[in-house]
Structure 1
Amino acid sequence: MGSKAKKRVVLPTRPAPPTVEQILEDVQRAQAKDPVFTALAAEDPPGPSRSTEDSKAQWKELYQQSWAYVAMNQQLQRAGNGLRQKCEHLRRAGEDLEREVEQVKQAALLETATAASV
């Protein structure tokens, strides 16, 4: 019978990663319509490029929206914590009320039983 052992395939060694200079040269040689750059570009409609003022205004608006989002998120977290505390307080108050109602019932039954025996 023959050996069923498979021959190991020897893979070639990996090439060394490119240097920073090679990467920069590659990026500088790339055309403006290179799919890598167009796929990652902002989703602005094609046309004349925005002015610097428009760009600054857009960044300022994005910053303000981000800041407002963070502030609202913190406010919602505080409100959620407050609601959890109030819910726990109401649960405890409900348990206390149930105990007191049970005590009143017991006292009423005891009073009724005492009055019936007299």
Structure 2
Amino acid sequence: MNIGSKNKKRVVLPSRPDPPTVDQILEDINRAAPNDPVFSILEQTGHDSSRSSDSDVDLKFQQCRQYLDLNERLQESRSRLLRQREELRAAGEQLDRDVAKVKGQPL
């Protein structure tokens, strides 16, 4: 039995930070300059050199931009649909009140 190991204090490591949110990632990508090193990473990692790495980087950049544009459109559509759902809910409630009023009136 190793008595020395029982006397050692455990080092408490700090907790890991929370991963970035999608909004934080998108903000970071939107702020990146076109000459940001992240767009040239394929060149540095020895990506298939038989193809033009500039065109690969451009292709990846365009795909990222398309994704961001699509994501923005989806967010706008989501907001619009939420607003329309609320309008429909309010119209349904008003319709229910009107129907109840009509049913309560004598003929």
1:42-57 to structure 2, matched below 5 A, reads 49-50=49-50, 54-57=52-55
What is the CA–CA distance in structure 2 between the aligned matches of 1:64 and 1:70, rounded to whole Å?
10
* Secondary structure, aligned partner of 2:50: coil
Computing the radius of gyration from Cα coordinates, the structure with the larger value is 1
- 1:84 matches 2:82: yes
Deviation at 1:50, TM superposition (A): 2.4
Structure 2: give runs of 5+ residues left out of the alignment: 10-44
Give the aligned partner of residue 73 of structure 2: 75
The normalised TM-score by structure 1 is 0.51
Distance 1:42 1:77, change over 3 A: farther
Give the aligned partner of residue 22 of structure 2: none
* Secondary structure, aligned partner of 1:50: coil
Distance 1:43 1:60, change over 3 A: closer
Give the aligned partner of residue 95 of structure 1: 93
Structure 1: give runs of 5+ residues left out of the alignment: 1-5, 11-40, 112-118
What is the CA–CA distance in structure 2 between the aligned matches of 1:50 and 1:63, rounded to whole Å?
19
What is the CA–CA distance in structure 2 between the aligned matches of 1:96 and 1:77, rounded to whole Å?
29
Supply the RMSD in Å over aligned alpha carbons: 2.3
Runs of 4+ aligned residues of structure 1 deviating over 6 Å after TM superposition are: none
Identity of aligned residues (%): 31
The normalised TM-score by structure 2 is 0.56
Equivalences, count: 68
Q: Given residue 105 of structure 1, which amino acid in structure 2 is its aligned partner?
A: K
